[in-house]
């Protein structure tokens, strides 16, 4: 998760108090648009982001020129948890609105979004989106309620120069947590304040990383039992995560004395050349380079160690439950023009390259079939980052199952921060007691989830 995603995700709770709205679609055969239609959409970047705002508005202009009967009423912002419920209840929610991957299940269950199943077949690009990502926007009834536009998953970000200096192969990063521990020992042995492996324990990032690490071992944070959720991390897998960190911190001394780290800290350490490895998404790399003065050639990305599952997320768009068939069709036409358009992959990569934005990072990866081949070819020809450094991550992507965040993720992460911080700052930390205490707190949080 990049900084924007993490900060936007904090407190992202779609309140249960919102009145249930009726489903938008009738049982009748949808009618074709008969006249001009105006749709409200969000996602317009603010004026403080002039490059992306101009790109968005240029797309609106081009779209309207190509579709004379459709007008776009663009609104700033993405998903704002502080205003979503009010806008929804007050009828002010946009016709087409942005969501995180953690939102659709809740919105579909409450019937707060429109069923778009009857229209997706009219847009061939949708058939080329990854089925596992489309499932995020599908209900248990098999109907489709939105489309994904971007995704990410966790891997192991590492410093290739430190790997080489430590006698490790920079083209073969650790595949297991045992190999991570061994590599961290060799990197820390370089001295000069070099840290072998870094981890978080503050501002919910500790709980977020605990989640990624237990997923990588095949464990869970929470499971649904009937209509209720229960904590599932007080397990052998949960203990294994904390014991490994405790051993690296206190037995191996490979994690450094400075702890209570939060999101930016590990990126700064990686940019400084003093950190060997940490769990991250690929979009950490351009931030390390652009914000913290790193160098693209220094960084490699491998699959998450363990490989039993990887914490995944992303974003997409859904439709207001009150949207008419004409607005749903117009909205899908807009989304498949701007966000999910195989015919624009090449131009979008050229635009990014001209703006000095990275081209060739391993994600987002939303396509299958011919569209995926087109994306790969364009990224290869226009790449301005060392794509070979990410080959271990790319080659393993298809074999590692994606797992989404648990419900009430940020509240749960705040609880698990405490356990992470304790094992990293107290060599006598009682792991069993920490997990048992966290389990009680998380079960209280989950009791409110419907």
Confidence band, pLDDT 50/70/90 cuts, at residue 297: very high
> Which DSSP letter does residue 138 get?
B
The larger pLDDT score, comparing residue 10 to residue 280, is at: 280
| Averaged pLDDT of the chain | 90
Write down the pLDDT at residue 275.
98
Q: Which residue in 358, 375, 359 sits closest to 367, CA to CA? A: 375
Strand, helix or coil at 318?
A: strand
Position 2 pLDDT exceeds 90: no
Contact criterion met (CB below 8 Å) for 111 and 21: yes
> Which DSSP letter does residue 437 get?
H
Contact criterion met (CB below 8 Å) for 166 and 186: yes
Write down the pLDDT at residue 196.
98
Confidence band, pLDDT 50/70/90 cuts, at residue 24: very low
> Which DSSP letter does residue 326 get?
H
Q: Which residue in 203, 278, 176, 142 sits closest to 6, CA to CA? A: 203
**Residues, the chain, total?**
450
Write down the pLDDT at residue 205.
95
Q: CA–CA distance from 146 to each of 92, 142, 194, 368 (Å)? A: 19, 12, 46, 18
Confidence band, pLDDT 50/70/90 cuts, at residue 20: very low
- Which uninterrupted H or E stretch holds 10? none
d(CA 334, CA 94): 14
The larger pLDDT score, comparing residue 125 to residue 103, is at: 125
Position 379 pLDDT exceeds 50: yes
Over the stretch 309-337, which tens digit does the pLDDT of each residue have? 999 989 999 999 999 999 999 999 999 99
Locate all alpha helices (DSSP H) within 67-113, ordered by sequence: 84-89, 104-109
Write down the pLDDT at residue 18.
32
Over the stretch 238-274, which tens digit does the pLDDT of each residue have? 999 999 999 999 999 999 999 999 999 999 999 999 9
Q: What angle do CA 53, 126, 341 make, to 5 degrees?
A: 40
Stretch 173-188: mean pLDDT: 98
Rounded percentage of the chain residues whose pLDDT exceeds 90: 78
Contact criterion met (CB below 8 Å) for 396 and 156: no
Alpha carbon 431 to chain centroid, angstroms: 29
| DSSP secondary structure letters along 259-284 | ----HHHHHHHHHHT-EEEEEE-TTH
Stretch 140-154: mean pLDDT: 95
Strand-strand pairing, 310-319 and 275-280: unpaired
Position 110 pLDDT exceeds 50: yes
Position 78 pLDDT exceeds 50: yes
């Amino acid at each position: 998760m990049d900084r924007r995603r993490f900060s936007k995700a904090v407190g992202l709770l779609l309140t249960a108090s919102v009145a249930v709205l009726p489903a938008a679609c009738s049982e009748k055969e949808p009618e074709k648009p008969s006249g001009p239609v105006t749709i409200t959409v969000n996602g317009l970047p603010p004026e403080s982001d002039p490059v992306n705002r101009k790109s968005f508005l240029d797309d609106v202009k081009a779209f309207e020129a190509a579709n004379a009967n459709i007008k776009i009423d663009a609104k700033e912002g993405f998903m704002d948890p502080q205003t979503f419920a009010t806008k929804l209840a007050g009828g002010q929610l946009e016709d087409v609105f942005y969501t995180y991957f953690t939102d659709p299940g809740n919105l579909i269950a409450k019937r707060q979004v429109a069923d778009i199943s009857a229209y997706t077949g009219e847009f061939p690009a949708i058939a080329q989106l990854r089925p596992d990502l489309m499932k995020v926007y599908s209900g248990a009834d098999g109907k489709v309620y939105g489309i994904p536009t971007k995704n990410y998953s966790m891997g192991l970000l590492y410093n290739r120069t430190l790997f080489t200096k430590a006698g490790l192969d920079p083209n073969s990063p650790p595949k297991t947590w045992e190999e991570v521990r061994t590599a961290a020992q060799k990197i820390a042995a370089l001295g000069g304040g070099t840290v072998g492996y870094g981890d978080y324990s503050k501002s919910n990032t500790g709980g977020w990383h605990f989640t990624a690490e237990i997923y990588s071992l095949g464990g869970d944070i929470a499971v649904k039992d009937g209509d209720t959720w229960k904590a599932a991390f007080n397990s052998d897998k949960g203990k294994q995560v904390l014991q490994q960190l405790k051993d690296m911190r206190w037995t191996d001394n490979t994690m450094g004395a400075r702890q209570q780290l939060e999101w930016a800290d590990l990126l700064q350490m990686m940019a400084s050349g003093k950190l060997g490895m940490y769990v991250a998404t690929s979009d950490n790399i351009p931030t390390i380079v652009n914000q913290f003065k790193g160098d693209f050639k220094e960084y490699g990305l491998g699959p998450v160690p363990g490989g039993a599952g990887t914490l995944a997320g992303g974003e997409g768009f859904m439709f207001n439950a009150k949207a008419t068939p004409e607005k749903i069709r117009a909205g899908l036409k807009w989304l498949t023009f701007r966000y999910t358009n195989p015919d624009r992959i090449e131009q979008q990569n050229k635009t990014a390259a001209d703006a000095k934005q990275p081209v060739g990072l391993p994600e987002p990866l939303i396509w299958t079939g011919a569209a995926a081949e087109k994306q790969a070819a364009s990224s290869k020809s226009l790449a301005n980052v060392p794509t070979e450094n990410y080959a271990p991550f790319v080659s393993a992507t298809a074999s590692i199952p994606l797992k989404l965040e648990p419900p009430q993720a940020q509240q749960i992460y705040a609880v698990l921060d405490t356990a992470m911080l304790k094992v990293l700052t107290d060599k006598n930390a009682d792991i069993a007691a920490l997990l048992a205490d966290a389990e009680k707190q998380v079960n209280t949080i989950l009791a409110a989830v419907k």
